[in-house]
Amino acid sequence: MKLLIDNEEFNVPAGTTVAAAVMLVDRPSFRRSVSGEPRFPLCGMGICFECRVTIDRVAHQRSCQIEVREGMVIETE
């Protein structure tokens, strides 16, 4: 599936979660903490909210709970 991650185009297999997709393309962080630390997913099951990214302009989406869709636009912090 074709997606845009931080304005760069990538192809990932269908069924991949957004979290896995962002890690596959090696971004420095998913989000920045309130004190500016880079953060990555932690719990992998939608509990901790560390993997939040902006998906199709909607902020704070839990990337580990959402599967990629064709043409999805993902932004990390």
Partner 1 sequence: MSESIKAEVVIVGAGPAGLCAATGPVVASRSVVLIDDNPRPGGQIWRAEKGRTEDLAGRMIHKLSEHENFRRMPGTHVFGIDGNSLLCESPGGDVRVEFEKLIIATGARELLLPFPGWTLPNVFGAGGLQALVKGGLDVSGKRIVIAGTGPLLLAVAYYLRSKGANVVLIAEQAPRSRILRFGLGLWRSPLKLVEAVWYSAKLLTTRSVYDSYVVRAEGDERLRSVTVRIGAKTETIECDMLGVGFHLVPNTELAELLGCEIRNGAVVVDEFQRTTVENVWCAGEPTGISGLESSLLEGTIAGSSAMGAPDSGRFLRRNRRIRRIADRMNRCYELREELRRLADNATIVCRCEDATFGEMSKFDGFRAAKLQTRCGMGACRGRICGSASRFLFGWEADSARPPIFPVRVSSLAGED
Q: Does 67 bind partner 1 (CB under 8 A)?
A: yes
Binding residue for partner 1, selected from 66, 72, 74, 76, defined by CB under 8 A: 66
H, E, C per residue of the chain: CEEEECCEEEECCCCCEHHHHHHHCCCCCCEECCCCCEECCCCCCCCCCCCEEEECCEEEEEHHHCECCCCCEEECC
Provide the minimum distance between the beta carbon of 4 and partner 1 in the complex, in angstroms, as a whole number.
17
x/- letters, 33..52, toward partner 1 (CB under 8 A): xxx-xxxxxxxxxxxxxx-x
Specify the amino acid at residue 38: P
Q: Site residues (CB under 8 A) for partner 1?
A: 12-17, 19-21, 23-24, 28-29, 33-35, 37-50, 52, 60, 64-67
